[in-house]
């Protein structure tokens, strides 16, 4: 049983499907636990945004719970022109705007994160991103995603970084799904 219903992570739904030569991203740090409220404010103003949400499930006292949490706590990615800034700062939900030095790189990283969202329950946020072998996922639902492959105990994971936040997302994979990239950098 969810504590709150799931909210859309991306608006418009085809934001990452359309080929746009140069999207302009704004990154906003919100007040604690205000990401979804800020995303709803952007949606009400009919503005594009990406606020990746994942499903967190747990059991307590024999009951099953599910909540939908932001992959990047306190951060929302908005796309558009200066009207985004106007709505953001009028919302009283934004703490600060984070400068985006490399728009193209952020666009690639967010596209990869969006691709991972539809893949299942093995997705999880990562604060400490280990170094691994650069890979391309070539098979399965995550095909086409670049990341870093890390082996740990019984778990094989590919990490996709959002470099400017120092955070990322990891997903469980099988060895046959990835192809190592030699002499290349992931992302």
**What are the pLDDT digits (tens) for 125-161?**
888 767 888 999 999 889 999 999 988 777 888 999 9
Q: Is CATH 2.60.40 the classification given to domain 111-187?
A: no
Task: State the pLDDT confidence band at 119, using cuts at 50, 70 and 90.
Answer: confident
How confident is the model at residue 5, as a pLDDT? Answer: 63
Would you list the domain boundaries of the chain?
Answer: 1-100, 111-187
33-76 pLDDT, tens digit per residue, is 999 999 999 999 999 999 999 888 889 999 998 888 999 999 99
- Compute, in degrees rounded to 10, the torsion defined by CA atoms 171, 133, 177, 17: 60
Three-class SS of 65-126: EEEEEECCCCEEEEECCHHHHHHHHHCCCEEEEECCCCHHHHHHHHHHHHHHHCCCCCCEEE
How confident is the model at residue 52, as a pLDDT? Answer: 94
Q: Is CATH 1.10.10 the classification given to domain 1-100?
A: no
How confident is the model at residue 4, as a pLDDT? Answer: 59
Residue from 134, 42, 144, 132 nearest 88 by CA: 42
Helices (H), 31-72: 35-44
Percent of the chain beyond pLDDT 90? 60
């Amino acid at each position: 049983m969810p504590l709150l219903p799931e909210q859309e992570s991306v608006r418009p739904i085809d934001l990452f499907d359309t080929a746009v030569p140069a999207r302009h991203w704004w990154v906003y740090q919100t007040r604690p636990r205000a990401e979804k409220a800020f995303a709803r404010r952007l949606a009400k103003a009919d503005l594009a945004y990406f606020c990746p949400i994942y499903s967190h499930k747990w059991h307590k006292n024999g009951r099953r719970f599910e909540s939908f949490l932001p992959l990047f706590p306190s951060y929302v990615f908005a796309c558009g022109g200066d009207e985004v800034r106007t709505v953001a700062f009028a919302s009283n939900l934004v703490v600060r705007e984070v400068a985006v030095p490399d728009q193209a790189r952020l666009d690639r990283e967010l596209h990869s994160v969006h691709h991972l969202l539809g893949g299942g329950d093995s997705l999880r946020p990562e604060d400490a991103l280990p170094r691994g072998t650069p890979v391309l996922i070539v098979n399965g639902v995550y095909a086409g995603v670049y990341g870093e492959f890390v082996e740990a105990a019984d778990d094989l994971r590919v990490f996709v970084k959002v470099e400017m936040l120092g955070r990322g997302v990891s997903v469980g994979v099988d060895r046959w799904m990835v192809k190592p990239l030699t002499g290349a950098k992931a992302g």
